[in-house]
């Protein structure tokens, strides 16, 4: 097991290198002048070249990449062109906000999705199953930015129960776990939880239905287990796969949703990414993408390890 984990960690090194190369390349392949957003339209050629030199855009791509990578490893992602603030701290802040939103949405989505899926799979083809399936299909197919806007219209505009945008009173970006701040979290979190809820429900339903078809369930009943005993076996059998799916979903949520964060002006990574793209803020864009990509790599690693430790058949390989 330990050697598996070590090996698995080693595998991530080339993946991370590749990912950072892709991050760098994607941003530089895209057309357009990186300094267009801060230079006045009538700037002189000298000023332009001076600025190019300051940001290092005048060097060759491989050199730029290595310098960027070298600094990134030390936690320095450069400065935002638009605000001049360090990218690392901007991203760090946004990651914090996205985490708050994503984790809340995850808890809501996985709990409800797991529950719906399990009940639907256990009582397959009953009316409960049909209801749960309908809910999860709606959850997967309704466009979530649309759902977000509908929620804002109902709960903020019409009923005036909850604030529509931002992450705290007066546009504060410093998160505190009190009601003042939490009411800003409710609408985006519910909106965001709908997708993983649908996907988790569908996955768990299929898993549970499949497990119940297997002969060992007959075996469990044949030895006299009561329903709750059988249930424990079903859960343990479903756990590894369910966990893998949940891990991926968590990954998507942690990546932040540009659409949802934009609809609710939630200052997370998705929002930041949107800003970076529209302002052509290259260092910010690179840094945000890199951090998000690393998130995925590490999350995959954790899911693999968790899955392996839960499923005896995957061990000792």
Partner 1 sequence: MTPLPSQSDTPLVRVHDLSVRFAGTPPVHAVNNVSFDLAPGEVLGILGESGSGKSVTLKTLLRLLPERKTRITGTIEVDGQDVLSLQGRALADHRGGVASMIFQDPSLALDPVYTIGQQIAETVIRHEGASKTDAMARALEMLELVRIPSARRRLDNYPHEMSGGMRQRAMIALALACRPKLLLADEPTTALDATVQIQILLLLRDLQQELGMGVIFVTHDIGVAVEVSDRLAVMYAGSFVETGSVRDVIRDARHPYSKGLLAANLVGAVPGTRLDAVPGAPPALSALPEGCSFAPRCAHAEAACSASPIPVWTGGDGRWARCVQASRAEAMAGAGGRS
Choice between 90 and 304, CB closer to partner 1: 304
Q: Minimum CB separation from partner 1 for residue 315, in Å?
A: 9
Q: Which stretches of 70-130 are assigned E, i.e. beta strand?
A: none
56 near partner 1, rule: CB under 8 A = no
- Which of 22, 107, 222, 302 touches partner 1 by CB under 8 A? 222
Size of the residue set binding partner 1 (CB under 8 A): 21
233 near partner 1, rule: CB under 8 A = yes
- The sign of the torsion formed by the CA atoms of 308, 309, 314, 317 equals positive
The beta-carbon contacts of 209-212 under 8 Å, at least 24 apart in sequence, are 209/121, 209/124, 211/237, 211/238, 212/121, 212/122, 212/124
Q: What is the footprint of partner 1 within residues 285-314 (CB under 8 A)?
A: 310-313
224 near partner 1, rule: CB under 8 A = yes
Q: Minimum CB separation from partner 1 for residue 308, in Å?
A: 13
How many C-beta atoms surround the C-beta of residue 265 within 10 A? 14
Q: What is the footprint of partner 1 within residues 59-118 (CB under 8 A)?
A: none
- Which of 237, 257, 269, 275 touches partner 1 by CB under 8 A? 237
Q: Minimum CB separation from partner 1 for residue 116, in Å?
A: 22
236 near partner 1, rule: CB under 8 A = yes
Q: What is the footprint of partner 1 within residues 178-217 (CB under 8 A)?
A: 214-216
Q: Minimum CB separation from partner 1 for residue 240, in Å?
A: 8
Choice between 174 and 218, CB closer to partner 1: 218
Task: Name the residue among 3, 7, 22, 88 with its Cα closest to residue 296.
Answer: 22
Task: Give Cβ neighbours of residue 292 (< 8 Å, ≥ 6 apart).
Answer: 254, 255, 256, 269, 273
Axis crossing angle, helix 87-122 with helix 269-278, rounded to the nearest 10? 130
CB 8 within 8 A of CB 52: no
Q: Minimum CB separation from partner 1 for residue 249, in Å?
A: 23
124 near partner 1, rule: CB under 8 A = no
Task: Name the residue among 138, 255, 144, 122 with its Cα closest to residue 193.
Answer: 144
Residues paired with residue 113 on neighbouring β-strands, in sequence order: none
DSSP state of 58: T
Q: Minimum CB separation from partner 1 for residue 3, in Å?
A: 18
Interface residue list for partner 1 (CB under 8 A): 214-216, 218-226, 229, 233, 236-237, 240, 310-313
């Amino acid at each position: 097991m330990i050697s598996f984990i070590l090996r698995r960690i080693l595998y991530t090194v080339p993946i991370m290198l590749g990912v950072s190369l892709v991050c760098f390349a994607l941003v530089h392949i895209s057309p357009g002048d990186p300094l267009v957003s801060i230079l006045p339209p009538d700037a002189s050629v000298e000023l332009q070249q001076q600025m190019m030199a300051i940001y290092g855009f005048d060097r060759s791509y491989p050199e730029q990449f290595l310098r960027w990578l070298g600094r990134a490893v030390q936690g320095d992602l450069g400065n935002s062109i638009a605000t001049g603030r360090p990218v690392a701290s901007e991203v760090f802040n946004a990651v914090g906000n996205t985490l708050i939103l994503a984790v809340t949405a995850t808890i809501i989505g996985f709990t409800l999705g797991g529950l719906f899926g399990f009940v639907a799979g256990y009582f397959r083809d009953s009316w409960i199953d049909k209801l749960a399936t309908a809910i999860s299909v709606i959850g997967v197919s309704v466009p979530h930015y649309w759902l977000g806007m509908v929620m804002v219209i109902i709960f903020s505009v019409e009923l005036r129960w909850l604030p529509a945008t931002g992450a705290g009173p007066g546009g504060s970006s410093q998160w505190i776990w009190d009601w003042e701040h939490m009411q800003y979290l409710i609408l985006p979190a519910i909106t965001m939880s709908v997708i993983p809820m649908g996907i988790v429900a569908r996955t768990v339903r299929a898993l549970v239905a499949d497990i119940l078809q297997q002969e060992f369930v007959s075996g469990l009943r044949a030895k006299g287990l009561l329903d709750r005993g059988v249930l424990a076996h079903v859960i343990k059998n479903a756990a590894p796969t369910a966990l893998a799916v949940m891990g991926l979903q968590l990954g998507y949520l942690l990546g932040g949703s540009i659409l949802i964060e934009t609809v609710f002006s939630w200052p997370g990574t998705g929002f930041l990414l949107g800003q970076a793209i529209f302002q052509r803020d290259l260092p910010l864009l690179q840094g945000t993408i890199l951090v998000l990509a690393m998130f995925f790599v590490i999350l995959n690693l954790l899911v693999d390890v968790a899955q392996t430790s839960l499923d005896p058949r995957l061990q000792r390989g």
